Amino acid sequence: MTSRRFLGALSGPDVPAHLREDFTLLTAEHMRGQARLLFVGFILSLPMVVYGASAGAGALVAYGLPLIILLLSATGLVLLSRPRAEGDFGDARRIIDTVWKLCLLTAAVGSIWCIASWASAPLETRIYYPAIMSIGGLVLGYCLMAERSVGMTVVVVTMGPTIAVLASTGMVMDLVLAIAMAIGVGFQLTMMVRHQRLLLSLVEERHRSAELARRDPLTGLANRRALIERFEAFAERSGAVRLMVVDIDRFKTINDRFGHDMGDRVLRTLATLLASHARGEICAARLGGEEFGLLGSAEALDPAIALQLLREIGCARMPHGETITVSIGVADAVVSSPEDWNPLYAQADRALYRAKNDGRNRVMTHQSGADPDRFQTEPQALRA
């Protein structure tokens, strides 16, 4: 394997732009839980570190450095115990950065403690200090492997100086330990890349599942759930929206005469016509059966689109060799809450059924603010 391929393998997979936010959220979730356990482990191990301090080490190495690690760990626990904003990308990024900085500082202090203890210990005992450090460094890397750049830099800072010192003494056992630690670092770095690939696969699967849950499997349009979610996004902005409900006239006759497979092909053809109008913030969806919807801001979803659809659909040759007509109900509202969906849909639905009752193949618009049973009928010339 060439050095370029090796470095490419260590760099791990690139996260696609449309998955980066979800990947960061999942990474922060993993790191938050693992880092809290890590800091607790540091605190529990510090008494043993102090007890096992080298007899020749000064007070700074024996007590001062463990105290710094204690303070860093306690700070980490406090910062990571704060309530987390679910789905907040900025908060997730802050968690990752906080863990990175605290663990990097802890790794640097640990390296100083290891090298200073090793240098001041008797020959027969000093090899224990880098051995202890290697265990701590690999555990540290394992807990941080959710974020490759964090884990790699912390492992290198933790283990790199110790490996370099051991390899430079000229003593056989020091060199053996340095090589063993270097192999452990290489293994840890490889596992980090593999772990990130697993996380990325999980994010991709979640994204795929979420997309499928919001898509109508027959037509490929958004489904009712996705349309309501889009409505809720409009409601958060407190603006004027328009809903058009489109229903195929006498669709049951098509199924009865040509079969349900042909009926499905008609639905897909109609969906293609509707999708051509789903530009920008306009969402086209299949609400169920032969009923479809277009939702958008009142500014983006011009009322003329309903009339254009009526003409396009009426002129389109369908898979069964005939033309079809549709009835369209339109309703407008200024929305500010998810609860505003039901009234808006009810208004468009009533307008639709008035269009059906008045002869089909036409557009009816619910008059906002008026008696809900009063509708405006499109001009006679628009009827087929």
Q: Which residues are known catalytic residues?
A: 290
At CB < 8 A and 24+ separation, what contacts does 347-356 make?
347/372, 348/243, 348/244, 348/245, 348/293, 349/245, 350/375, 351/245, 351/375, 352/245, 352/247, 352/327, 352/328, 353/329, 354/329, 355/327, 355/328, 355/329, 356/247, 356/249, 356/327
Distance, CA of 32 to CA of 84 (rounded, Å)? 10
Q: Is the dihedral of CA 255, 259, 265, 266 positive or negative?
A: negative
Distance, CA of 219 to CA of 223 (rounded, Å)? 9
Distance, CA of 243 to CA of 350 (rounded, Å)? 12
What is the C-alpha R_g of the chain? 33
Q: In this structure, are residues 271 and 289 in contact, taking their beta carbons and an 8 Å threshold?
A: no
Distance of CA 91 to the CA centre of its chain: 14
Tokens 């370099």 identify what position? 164
Closest CA to 241 of 339, 308, 340: 340
Q: In this structure, are residues 114 and 130 in contact, taking their beta carbons and an 8 Å threshold?
A: yes
